[in-house]
Amino acid sequence: MSVCPWFKDGYCSSPLLDYPSADVVNKVYCLGGPELYTRCRLYREPRPIKEGGYDEFGKPFLMVHGLDKAPEALCEFMKVFKHEQGKYLAGCLVLKRFLGIHEVNLCSNFWKQCPYRKLGLKLGTPT
């Protein structure tokens, strides 16, 4: 039985919550496979990981932008790609560039406070 992608170590990490919470977890739904967890009010489709087609962000430099694993892409303005050399890349649709390794950590943890995200939300929905 597959587990909800937002279920992590007994916590729900849904982007609709301000902080991961164990209080909202209902194991029947969270661990009950897609037919159940997609019905949860806190469920959202995770951002897809794309292969190639990232010209909009310019040329990536793996030393600066290459990630060993796919990041937590909770911000709606983050796009995640898999590079042909096995690394992952994250681009910001507001900044219109790839994010450096340390920036990605900040985005994954503090996306709700990000000023660029606030600007992006004012300008319109991401594509």
By residue count, the chain amounts to 127
What number of other Cβ atoms are within 10 A of residue 102's Cβ?
Answer: 9
Q: How far is the CB of 48 from ligand SF4 (least distance, A)?
A: 15
Per-residue contact string for residues 4-33; x = within reach of ligand SF4 by CB under 6 A: x-xx----x-x---------xx---xx---
Instruction: Give the type of residue at 13.
Output: S
| Residue 113: alpha-carbon gap to chain centroid | 15
Per CB under 6 A, the segment of 37-45, 49-57, 64-72, 80-88 that binds ligand SF4 is 37-45
3-class secondary-structure state, position 97: strand
- In the region spanning residues 66 to 85, those forming contacts with ligand SF4, defined by CB under 6 A, are 75, 77-78
